[in-house]
Structure 1
Amino acid sequence: MDVNGGSPGGPGGPGDLAPSDSLASLDARIADCRACPRLVAWREEVARTKRAAFADQTYWGRPVPGFGPADARLLIVGLAPAAHGANRTGRMFTGDRSGDVLYRALHDVGLASRPTAVSADDGLELYGVRITSPVHCAPPANRPTPAERDTCRTWLVRELELLRPTLRAVVVLGGFGWQAAMPAFAAAGLPVPRPRPAFGHGARVVLGDVTVLGCFHVSQRNTFTGLLTPRMLRDVLRTAAETAGLPHAG
């Protein structure tokens, strides 16, 4: 039971999704979810207290839905919104350093209209690409619990189902995202082998007509230490674009 009396299976949670839901209506329902009490309390506390640099801004402070067209051929799966990034702006990977790296790379390979993402109304467009995450609320210490991950999975499953007519490639950022995404792929009807494929940068798994690629997460820890370089990220995105049949920059 959540703080407003809802639950994963009731109003405000992911348990009663109708097969006819459109991606737009799914996004709206995600933004209203209150299924996980700890995440609700944290995201709203962050939105109240704010970071000093953003003290004059109104935080989104809600679950962050996916971003990108409903007929995307390529899906990028992250981890969860950052407390002062997407939890502030209301758009995936927007307003933080991880997003700076990701959107620069997307722009470099011709999949985004601009190299920066600062706010939900900055005019940024993605070309054939959608970005989502297995957990839609900012978690304390960037660590959702297994129960929170599993509760949120229903949203990802439905998103995958709605994208299936056009979806041809998925880039999963990081081991957590990989572990969370594989059961969602299976629940959405993709033929995930057993044992489940292991995560690795450059890992490639063909699930029917969808190819899944692994990539180190665009976290500051990975990019500052050089574990993930801009070139490595661009290479994965180019491979994904080619696999998805999307025009891209060479």
Structure 2
Amino acid sequence: MHGSHPTPQTRSFPLVTAPRLDSMRELDQTVSTCRACPRLVAWREEAARVKRRAFQDWEYWARPVPGFGPPDAPLAITGLAPAAHGGNRTGRIFTGDPSGDALYAALYDLGLASQPVATHRNDGMKLFGVRITVPVHCAPPDNRPTTTERDTCRPWLARELELLRPTLRAILVLGGFAWQALLPVLTNTGWQVPRPRPAFGHGAHAQLTDARSERVLHLIGGYHPSQRNMSTRTLTPAMLRDVLHRGADMADVPVHRSRP
């Protein structure tokens, strides 16, 4: 650390740096430099060295993966963290893995994405009225961040939601981990969370109020489109489209549904 300006290697880097960032572009660029969690840095870089056989020709991103989508989106989607050979490889969240295949196909079916398949960060994909982010920006071993890693990364999510705040009307939360990670962020940034705290579930809905302006923010729960959830049909493509449609409706984002 040099004076009051921590380096990307220090635990305090997200906490001190995130509140100073004035634009989504600046936030995305800065997030990708973070090295605050040694275990996650080691894992993401090891995955890039070893690689999977199918991706031997890839030069992995192997850095924190920023959010993706317009900086004035009315609807936010939060997942868990990048996949070691998905976002950690491609440099874009939910891109290059089965979870992303399911999510982007559903977004495209509703007219919220420009194409049904996301392959890499320069593939031309655009989102309409939607921004995707995560509570943990680095790929964790076994897809399980520690509570310390989650909390260290929290300031990035808090700042991202603050930058979205003028237009944000709804958040679709994919999975129980993201639900638990998000509620303290919303509380600490001035959103009044109902008591008792709303429980996660597919289709769960909570209505939060901005203590400063009395604006309403809708929180919608949805099962994560993990390969396991999709293969066991805990979550089906139709269920995913339906919960995305519900989030878009609550955010007043136009939907053009192409499938029944």
Show the 5 A alignment for 1:73-88.
73-88=74-89
Offset of residue 192 of structure 1: 1.2
Answer yes or no: is the 8 Å Cα contact 2:208–2:217 preserved in 1. yes
Q: Which residue of 1 aligns with 2:213?
A: none
Of 9, 12, 15, the match for 1:9: 12
Answer yes or no: is the 8 Å Cα contact 2:24–2:160 preserved in 1. yes
Letter in 2 for 1:56: D
Q: Which residue of 1 aligns with 2:137?
A: 136
Q: Which residue of 2 aligns with 1:39?
A: 40
Q: Which residue of 2 aligns with 1:232?
A: 239
Offset of residue 5 of structure 1: 7.8
Answer yes or no: is the 8 Å Cα contact 1:169–1:240 preserved in 2. yes
Q: 2 CA distance for matches of 1:200 and 1:70? A: 28
Q: Which residue of 1 aligns with 2:251?
A: 244
Q: Aligned with 2:92: secondary structure?
A: coil
Q: 2 CA distance for matches of 1:234 and 1:77? A: 15
Could you tell me which runs of 5 or more consecutive residues in structure 1 were left unpaired when the two chains were aligned: none
Offset of residue 189 of structure 1: 1.6
Q: Which residue of 2 aligns with 1:58?
A: 59
Q: 2 CA distance for matches of 1:8 and 1:141? A: 22
Show CA shifts across 1:143-193 (max 9, x none).
000000011111100001000000001000010110111111112221112
Could you tell me which runs of 5 or more consecutive residues in structure 2 were left unpaired when the two chains were aligned: 2-6, 210-215
Answer yes or no: is the 8 Å Cα contact 2:194–2:207 preserved in 1. no
Answer yes or no: is the 8 Å Cα contact 1:84–1:95 preserved in 2. yes
Q: Which residue of 1 aligns with 2:128?
A: 127
Q: Aligned with 2:185: secondary structure?
A: helix
Letter in 1 for 2:149: E
Q: Could you say if the C-alpha distance between residues 165 and 5 of structure 1 is closer, same or farther in structure 2, counting changes exceeding 3 Å?
A: closer
Answer yes or no: is the 8 Å Cα contact 2:8–2:33 preserved in 1. no
Answer yes or no: is the 8 Å Cα contact 2:80–2:175 preserved in 1. yes
Show the 5 A alignment for 1:1-250.
6-10=9-13, 13-19=14-20, 21-208=22-209, 209-250=216-257
Q: Could you say if the C-alpha distance between residues 151 and 108 of structure 1 is closer, same or farther in structure 2, counting changes exceeding 3 Å?
A: same
Q: Structure 1 runs of 4+ off > 6 angstroms?
A: none
Q: Aligned with 2:219: secondary structure?
A: strand
Q: Could you say if the C-alpha distance between residues 167 and 5 of structure 1 is closer, same or farther in structure 2, counting changes exceeding 3 Å?
A: closer
Answer yes or no: is the 8 Å Cα contact 2:194–2:206 preserved in 1. no
Answer yes or no: is the 8 Å Cα contact 1:75–1:167 preserved in 2. yes
Q: 2 CA distance for matches of 1:6 and 1:195? A: 38
Kindly tell me the number of residue pairs found equivalent between the two proteins.
Answer: 246
Q: CA RMSD in A?
A: 1.4
Q: Could you say if the C-alpha distance between residues 65 and 5 of structure 1 is closer, same or farther in structure 2, counting changes exceeding 3 Å?
A: closer
Normalised TM-score (structure 2): 0.92
Residue identity over aligned pairs, in percent, reads 61
